[in-house]
Each structure stands twice: as C-alpha cells, then as structure tokens.
Chains A and B, each alone.
Chain A
C-alpha cells in the first residue's frame, strides 16, 4: 500500500501569471515564496510553497503528496506500474522546480496528474499573509472523478486513504486525522475541483465573505457549514475559473479502529447545514468548465 503522509502542493498552468499573482496575494492572501522566470511559488504556512503557478495551459494541473523515503517512492513506482499506471521519474530540473528531493508522477484512474514527492522543502521564514486573512495553511483539494466508486477503491486500496464520510457515492477521504484531504467531485474529465486553505476562525471566513464580495470576487457557495466535517466554509472563484475555499474547524478522526463512514444523501443540506445553496445550481455539482 502506498503510504501518503501529507498533501504537499498543487501546480497550475496559467496564461496570465501576473493576474494569478495579483489574485493570490490581494484576494487569497498567500505570500510569494519564490519565483523563477515562468513560475510563481506561493506560501500558506511553514512550507516553502503550497501553490505553484507556471505560465502555460490552465488545464495542466497536478497535486503532490509526500511519501516518507526514496525507498518508499521506488516501491510505489513499482506498485503503480504493475497496476498499469505508467510512472514518470522526476528529472533533477523537475525536482528543483517542485522544491523536492525526488518525485514520481502518474495518472489516477480518472486521469488526474498525481505526484508523489520525497523531502519537500520547508521555509525558515515564518509565513506572513498579504492580507489579514488568518490562513493557517493549505489543507485539501477537491478532485474530479469520472467514476467515484472506482476511484475510491484506488485511493483506499492502492493508497492509504480512509473514507471519513460519503455524500451519495462521493467519498471524503483522509490520510491523516484530518477529516478529509481528498474530496471526490463528480466530473466528466480530470482536474482539481477546488483548493482549500484553512483559516483560524469563523471571523476570518465571514470577513472574507464581505471582503471578497466587495471586490466582486464571485462567491460560489457559502458562507456555510459542512455537516460532514463540521467546518465553516466559503467557496469563491479565482484565476482561470479555479474554485478556492476557506474553511475553519474541520473535524479530526482519532479512532481509526472504530470510525464508520456516514452516508449523506446527495442533496444541498448534505453539503451545507445552514442552508446555503451553490450559486447557479441547486446542488453542488461542478460547473461546466471552459
């Protein structure tokens, strides 16, 4: 079984690096950690970077998960190849671009680009947000799946994810005690559905609602509260149509031995217990992508 330790980063292509930087700093509140000629590295916590924008195609998206050692990385590569997922070993230049010692890249059953990384860099400098947002760090992603049942099997049997709860067939999976690091989202093609950063308090979520609304950032869902994880949330649209989320108060699941996933019906009250509705549609299915 591939042991994923932590979610490390997301990588996005973008046609407009300047706009991405502007949004990421003035709206999201992330800090520029580093930049190269074509890439921008953004920080949200003590890691060297958790979001990387590179000049290019916005459909090129990847998520990185940390594994323990290069031995584990090689074992994971062997497992994946045996299962029929071709594996790409990161070149030194590619590793440097990701601020990791080593990595492999493969596609999950839906075709999402997944990277397993070893020794991702931390920063010596404390994270300082670009606005008073109270971000405590990059926490999880929503990942599109063209077959939720098949993909749940991949993440829970080939990798070490555990199902915390389900909404219909959509599973919310954890790799640590945090309720979920991977939220499946029904879709017609691969991609990252949303990027979540944790914030420190309800005040941060609600302040952001008024701050972002005041700057005409589209609020697509919330402010609300997930009955699954208990977290108070806000979803909004960023560069290239990507959905970003702030949330606070995600439950932790300590009793690995006895926890049983709950089943929620696929309906609005299963996603928000306060009654907010996703803008544009009655239930939170992903909007058609450009």
Chain B
C-alpha cells in the first residue's frame, strides 16, 4: 500500500474555556482576521484559505489538526491504510465537516493520541485576507506537536502518511511534506498536544517589529528572536492564551534533493544559531553548552 499523500497542514482546532478572550488575542496580538463561524466557534484566517485556526468552546486539550488530502479520491485509500495499521478512523459527519469548512474528512489519531483530521476540499475565501494588525502574516508555516510515543508517531507520519524525516535535534524530529525543510516538528514530551503554531511572516523586519510589539505589551516571549539551526528560519516564540505557544517565522530553507537527515546534539545552539535560549517550555529547554 502506498503512503497517504498530504498536501498541507490545513487548520488547527483549539479548545478554549474563554473563546472570546482567545479570539481577541488572535486578532489584536497575532493579527489574524476573524471570519464568520458556526455554533459558537470563532474562525480565523491568515491567508487565502477560509480559515486556519478555529477556536471552540471547551478545555484546551480539545484540539485537532487538519491535514489536507489531494482530493476526495484519496479518502478511501487513506481509510484502508489507517485501518490496516490499527489506527482508529471514522468519517466526520455533516456537521463536523461544516464546522471544519471541508467537503469530507476522516478523523483519526497520531501515535500519541493527537486528533488528526484528514480532509478533502477545504474552503478557500473569495476575499483577500485583511490583517487585524500589521504583523505581516502570509500564512501558516507549520506546527510543533508534543509526542508521547515517538516510534508510533514516526510510523504514523512516515509509514502511513508521506512525511519524511528532515533533521533531528536530540530526539526532536523535523518532518517534511513539501519543498520546505519541515512543516511538522515532533517534540518528545510527557504529554500530547499542539505545542506550537508557526505563522509565516513577510520578512525578517516583521519578526523584529513583533519582538518589540510583544515586549511593549509585556507579553511573554519564550524563545528568540532567533534562528532555527536546522531549518534556517528566523523565529520568535511567545505565549498564547491557552497551552499552545505561537511563533512568527520567516525564511525557512528548502533542502536540495538527496539531503540526508542530520543529527544535532541536544544543545541550545541546535535550536537557535544566534544564541537565544528557552527556559520555560520543557520540550524546548535543552542543556546550555
């Protein structure tokens, strides 16, 4: 059986006990644009897709990650692959598809139990994205996931889906699904969940402007401004309203064909080539040199 081909990380669904407060953070701080949603959800966009983040009323652990399949023809083969490997899989019902702005979806889980939606035909927007602040967002770069069972997660991502290992820092694993160095990063952890949502911005200037913007508002900067060693992208990581951290990123490199995965030691310099350190996120707190 061939691997399930994934086009992109499509959306994130995040639970929040205070949806309106989280929504304010998403517009006023992040700069995403709020769009019309159903049933108390708050939907937010940052590019051409109808939405990239959906806030739902509920505990922060209530999360799912939407991955786009090329089209509906891939749904049945995907179901077969997941079932054969013993992963739970069910169809999203009509209401679930409506809330996800997709035509069809399979709901499954990765090896750690993170809920994964495999979706077909996600909605695009007819209108241009208009930012809520000049953060320079151009789209969703990718996500960081906490992994409680790395072996099973790697089986899910690289044997069932078509991701490839790009590089590693200790056991932190960067996964590639398209031309970019990585779109998904797995961080070994004691618990599961979406650790990070990385938003692409126009330029290095935007990252630095956001650095001072966040500091002025005394929002907690967790890591950076820095330069991710393996991927080359400039980043700044900061605390979101719930468990998840957000980052602005820019300039991720596109590896040449035939590059083999490199192993970096578990050191701060392997996560940031400029020398920044992250003390407050256990999955990112590697020993200082």
**Which A residues are within 8 Å of any B CB, using their own CB?**
202-203, 206-207, 209-211, 214, 223-225, 273-277
Known: A225-B205, A225-B208, A274-B211. A210 touches B216 (CB 8 A): no
A-B contact pairs, 22 of them (CB 8 A): A203-B273, A203-B274, A206-B225, A206-B226, A206-B227, A207-B273, A209-B274, A210-B274, A210-B275, A214-B275, A223-B225, A225-B205, A225-B208, A273-B209, A274-B205, A274-B209, A275-B208, A275-B211, A275-B212, A275-B213, A275-B216, A276-B212
Complex CA distance for A224 and B212, rounded to whole angstroms = 10
14 additional A-B pairs beyond A207-B275, A274-B211, A274-B212, beta carbons within 8 Å, are A203-B273, A206-B225, A206-B274, A207-B273, A209-B274, A210-B276, A223-B208, A225-B208, A273-B209, A274-B205, A274-B208, A275-B209, A275-B212, A276-B212
Query: Which residues of chain B have C-beta atoms less than 8 A from A223's C-beta?
Result: 208, 225
Q: How many A-B residue pairs have CB under 8 A?
A: 37
Contact of A202 among B204, B211, B213, B275 (CB under 8 A): B204
Complex CA distance for A276 and B211, rounded to whole angstroms = 9
Query: Which residues of chain A have C-beta atoms less than 8 A from B209's C-beta?
Result: 273-275
| Complex interface residues of chain B between 210 and 252 (CB less than 8 A to chain A) | 211-213, 216, 225-227
> Taking the nearest CB of chain A, how far is it from the CB of B268, in angstroms?
10
Interface string of B196-214 (1 = CB under 8 A from A): 0000000011001101110
Interface string of B7-43 (1 = CB under 8 A from A): 0000000000000000000000000000000000000
Complex CA distance for A209 and B275, rounded to whole angstroms = 9
Query: Which residues of chain B have C-beta atoms less than 8 A from A202's C-beta?
Result: 204
Query: Which residues of chain B have C-beta atoms less than 8 A from A276's C-beta?
Result: 212
> Taking the nearest CB of chain B, how far is it from the CB of A199, in angstroms?
13
B208 touches A224 (CB 8 A): yes
Chain A minimum-CB-distance residue to B268:
A210
> Taking the nearest CB of chain A, how far is it from the CB of B98, in angstroms?
41
> Taking the nearest CB of chain A, how far is it from the CB of B206, in angstroms?
9
A211 touches B275 (CB 8 A): yes
Chain A minimum-CB-distance residue to B212:
A275
Known: A202-B204, A225-B205, A275-B216. A207 touches B211 (CB 8 A): no
Query: Which residues of chain A have C-beta atoms less than 8 A from B204's C-beta?
Result: 202
> Taking the nearest CB of chain B, how far is it from the CB of A125, in angstroms?
29
Query: Which residues of chain A have C-beta atoms less than 8 A from B216's C-beta?
Result: 275
Query: What 5 A-B pairs have minimum CB-CB distances, sorted nearest first?
Result: A275-B212, A210-B275, A274-B208, A206-B274, A207-B274
Query: Which residues of chain A have C-beta atoms less than 8 A from B208's C-beta?
Result: 223-225, 274-275
- Which one of B204, B216, B275 has the greatest number of beta carbons of chain A within 10 Å? B275
Complex CA distance for A211 and B211, rounded to whole angstroms = 18
| Complex interface residues of chain B between 127 and 186 (CB less than 8 A to chain A) | none
Query: Which residues of chain B have C-beta atoms less than 8 A from A225's C-beta?
Result: 205, 208
> Taking the nearest CB of chain B, how far is it from the CB of A211, in angstroms?
6
> Taking the nearest CB of chain A, how far is it from the CB of B269, in angstroms?
10
Query: Which residues of chain B have C-beta atoms less than 8 A from A277's C-beta?
Result: 212
Query: Which residues of chain B have C-beta atoms less than 8 A from A203's C-beta?
Result: 227, 273-274
Query: Which residues of chain A have C-beta atoms less than 8 A from B212's C-beta?
Result: 274-277
Complex CA distance for A224 and B227, rounded to whole angstroms = 16
B273 touches A273 (CB 8 A): no
> Taking the nearest CB of chain A, how far is it from the CB of B59, in angstroms?
36
Complex CA distance for A223 and B225, rounded to whole angstroms = 10
Chain A minimum-CB-distance residue to B225:
A206
Chain A minimum-CB-distance residue to B207:
A274
Chain A minimum-CB-distance residue to B272:
A210
Query: Which residues of chain A have C-beta atoms less than 8 A from B211's C-beta?
Result: 274-275
> Taking the nearest CB of chain B, how far is it from the CB of A249, in angstroms?
11
Query: Which residues of chain A have C-beta atoms less than 8 A from B225's C-beta?
Result: 206, 223
- Which one of A202, A206, A210, A214 has the greatest number of beta carbons of chain B within 10 Å? A206
> Taking the nearest CB of chain A, how far is it from the CB of B18, in angstroms?
29
Chain B minimum-CB-distance residue to A205:
B274
Complex CA distance for A39 and B273, rounded to whole angstroms = 37
Query: Which residues of chain A have C-beta atoms less than 8 A from B226's C-beta?
Result: 206
> Taking the nearest CB of chain A, how far is it from the CB of B219, in angstroms?
14
Complex CA distance for A276 and B212, rounded to whole angstroms = 6
Query: Which residues of chain A have C-beta atoms less than 8 A from B274's C-beta?
Result: 203, 206-207, 209-210
Complex CA distance for A153 and B64, rounded to whole angstroms = 66
